[in-house]
Amino acid sequence: MNWVPNVVVLLIIVWLVRRSRKRVKASSMSKQKSKQKPKLKPPPIRDMAMIDSEITMVTDEIDFFSTYKDHDAEHATDSIVLQQDEHLLATLSVVGLIENNQTEDGAEPELLDEGEFIVTTVRGVFVGKSVTHDFQWSKLVSHKTEPLMNNVVLYLPVSNRQKIYGIAADSAGIANMQRRLAFGVAVALGRNEQHVERLLAEREKLNKEKQQFGG
């Protein structure tokens, strides 16, 4: 009976299956690791200079938002035509329009165009080289940021659109724009006074924190 070659073949098959399983497991672990988010850096230690800077920023916002109708000239642009009772709040140049595509491996952001983003009390408007995109604040679901390589994307999902689009820029530009955007949403929903009141409460909290430092 010639059973020796059959045994050898069987052993080879078992070895190949085990090696294949190990490769699949290693590949799966590699994918899981690649999907893991990077560890967040600890927040910076707060000091008097940081608190003073935040107080100045909040005070500037209170002054601007309390008189926002008088500042259209500061952000004047020919890129859009303002509607009746629409006021400019901010203009951010050198931004990218991002589409958040959903795949089997998760979300994959795609750069659609580059241009500028204009924030008003009614909407946000991206004006690019070949694409113009409008975000109505009355239909905005949320405004959340996510890191994208060396930049940050501010995603702006709206209730009447299935696809999710966002604006990509450097972190400082996005942070400033998001605060103006939040006020634009408040104006569109008739909550601008409450928004300013929250800023006043934020400044009071910062002043109390400063007093604890002996300032």
Span 10-63, pLDDT tens digits = 444 444 445 444 444 444 444 454 445 556 667 778 888 999 999 999 999 999
Mean pLDDT of 198-213: 93
Tokens 């966002």 — which residue? 166
What CA–CA distance (Å, rounded) separates 177 from 187? 15
Confidence at residue 8, expressed as pLDDT on a 0 to 100 scale: 42
Least confident of 118-122, 179-183, 211-215: 211-215
Contact, 170 vs 92, CB < 8 A? no
What CA–CA distance (Å, rounded) separates 38 from 51? 28
Residues 6+ apart with CB under 8 A from 212: none
Supply 8's token pair. Answer: 């050898």
pLDDT digits (tens, 9 = 90+) for 71-82: 887 777 888 999
What CA–CA distance (Å, rounded) separates 157 from 159? 7
pLDDT digits (tens, 9 = 90+) for 98-112: 998 877 777 789 999
Which is more confident, 72 or 181? 181
∠ Cα 178 120 144 (to 5°): 25
Confidence at residue 27, expressed as pLDDT on a 0 to 100 scale: 45
Confidence at residue 10, expressed as pLDDT on a 0 to 100 scale: 41
Confidence at residue 31, expressed as pLDDT on a 0 to 100 scale: 47
Supply 120's token pair. Answer: 């008003």
Q: Please state whether beta strands 132-136 and 88-103 pair in parallel, antiparallel, or not at all (unpaired).
A: unpaired
Confidence at residue 12, expressed as pLDDT on a 0 to 100 scale: 41
Contact, 201 vs 209, CB < 8 A? no
- Does the structure show a pLDDT above 60 at 67? yes
Confidence at residue 11, expressed as pLDDT on a 0 to 100 scale: 41
Tokens 């052993």 — which residue? 11
What CA–CA distance (Å, rounded) separates 147 from 149? 6
Confidence at residue 185, expressed as pLDDT on a 0 to 100 scale: 97
The count of residues in the chain is: 215
| Percent over 90 (pLDDT), the chain | 58
| Percent over 70 (pLDDT), the chain | 80
Mean pLDDT of 130-142: 95
Confidence at residue 25, expressed as pLDDT on a 0 to 100 scale: 44
Average of per-residue pLDDT values in the chain: 83
Beta strands in 10-169 (DSSP E): 88-103, 106-120, 123-128, 132-136, 144-148, 151-155, 164-169
Confidence at residue 40, expressed as pLDDT on a 0 to 100 scale: 60
Per-position DSSP letters for 197-215, written without gaps between them: HHHHHHHHHHHHHHHHTT-
Contact, 94 vs 116, CB < 8 A? yes
Least confident of 15-24, 113-122, 151-160, 173-182: 15-24
- Does the structure show a pLDDT above 90 at 90? yes
